[in-house]
Copies of this chain bind each other. A is one copy, B any other.
Amino acid sequence: MSEKMPNWLKQRAYLTPERPAIITKHETLSFQELLIRVEQLADQLTTVGVRQGMHCALLIQNNIDSIVLIRALETIGAISVMLNIRLTEKELAWQMNDADVSYCFYTSDFQDKALTAGKEVQSIKLYSITQVKSLKTSSSSSRSMFKLDELHTIMYTSGTTGKPKGVMMTYGNHWWSAIGSSLNLGIAEKDRWLICVPLFHVSGLSILMRSLFYGITIVLHERFEADAVNTSIINEQVTMISVVSAMLTTMLKQLGEETYPENLRCVLLGGGPAPMPLLELCKHKRVPVFQTYGMTETASQIVTLSPEYMLSKLGSAGKPLFPAQLRIVQDGQDMERNNEGEIVVCGPNVTKGYYKRPDATEITIQQGWLHTGDMGYLDKDGFLYVLDRRSDLIISGGENIYPAEIESVLLEHPSVLEVGVCGVESERWGEVPAAVLVFEKNSFCSGIELKQFLEERLAKYKIPKVFYSVEKLPRNASMKLLRRTLKSWIKHEKLTLLH
């Protein structure tokens, strides 16, 4: 039997109506005020035909309207399909089709993108949030109870097979994720969590959840700008912030000789292994950085360093959250401490699977254990060290980039015979993608031409920053591409650069 809970926002607004829920540059909303807006928008969404169980795509920027939209869909019981605003129209259309969405709601900035993408999605209805907000309302559409096993969100992630997969997240996944986090990071009434990561990512969405459950305030930034974030931390009593390495590096550079005030008690650092110099700098400047490891499939963090080990276990992602578990597996065997293997996790925050992909689900989740594909080891005290995200994954400024997806698009080019994509180091982004091509006989293409070809097919951040050509790609006996060899060839300049 699935646990039921009172409607999260209604309950929070009943318990602590006057506490500030969201602070932006423009306004402050209490939980009660947020509830009023959400209930009104829910009624307006019902007026345009949204019903419980329907799939609705969201193409949104970070603002209060977007938060109100997410909560309104929740109160109706519709499923939010979170779209990455950096995707191309083609990619967006593909995801909306795959997710069987009936509606797409967007903030005004993305009107063109939404309308163009929407043309390729059958019988979809598209509305800007502003349009919906102008409607007269009729009915009351607010649910009183949520079931923890209901589907809440679909969020796309790619993989080795090329096409993105829709990660299904239930109400329970979000709830347990937030609870697990609180048992490690604590909860204080005066907490304020700054959001400068996208709401359509699990990093941003999970903060919305924590805010309701803990009754704490969100300080919402429309985008990441280091100086604005630093000013906010210093002037607005921010206690917690979620960042990736590239962001924190810029923030510390901008901060210069200064330090953060004591109210900042947690800098949650996710999105791939952090560079050691950054961690050393945080140690030196007494920035309370908590390394963490998680993914869309785990509804954000699943392994996080506890406060007391922040300094002594620098570089470690920590230990699992209280309700979760962690194993290191190689060839089906649990590895001894200090031995490398695949990171395998389990817990009530872990997704039940990928939307309409029983095959991929079966491979990834075995007896409740999620095989992350990432490599790591546990030290003698049981702390996780992440060595490498899954060998093919490129994490660039917090965005996941899957080589297979770029490769499959490049193979559509008439001059390209074979292609291998891998990540190369970037001081600013951590990594950026690079492509190594084998051309068709008597064919050739410049780097500029390839970029142009990709620009209308892939989000900008996915487009390789450099292109190389080679006679033959490195492959093993079973013809599997050896991406590590590819990386090493690039590093040692063994390839021909394409201009």
Contact = CB atoms under 8 A, between A and B. Distances in A.
B183 A214 contact: yes
A16 B319 CA distance: 9
A127 interface: no
A16 B308 contact: yes
Interface stretch (A47-55, A87-95, A185-193, A274-282): A185-193
Interface string A207-229: 00000011100000000000000
A189 B308 contact: yes
A36 interface: no
A362 B382 CA distance: 47
Contact of A15 (B187, B214, B306): B306
Given A15-B319, A214-B183, A215-B183, A307 B348 contact: no
A5 interface: yes
B187 A183 contact: yes
Contacts of A179: 179
Given A3-B176, A186-B188, A215-B306, 7 more contacts: A6-B325, A15-B184, A15-B322, A183-B213, A183-B214, A189-B308, A213-B322
A19 interface: yes
Nearest to A16: B306
Contact of A5 (B5, B6, B17, B323): B323
Nearest to A18: B308
Interface string A311-325: 000000001101111
A25 B5 CA distance: 42
A259 B186 CA distance: 27
A382 B308 contact: no
Interface in A3-23: 3, 5-6, 11-12, 14-19
19 contacts: A3-B176, A3-B348, A6-B323, A6-B324, A6-B325, A11-B322, A12-B322, A15-B184, A15-B319, A16-B306, A182-B183, A183-B213, A183-B214, A186-B186, A186-B187, A186-B188, A186-B189, A187-B187, A213-B322
Contact of A182 (B6, B182, B319, B325): B182
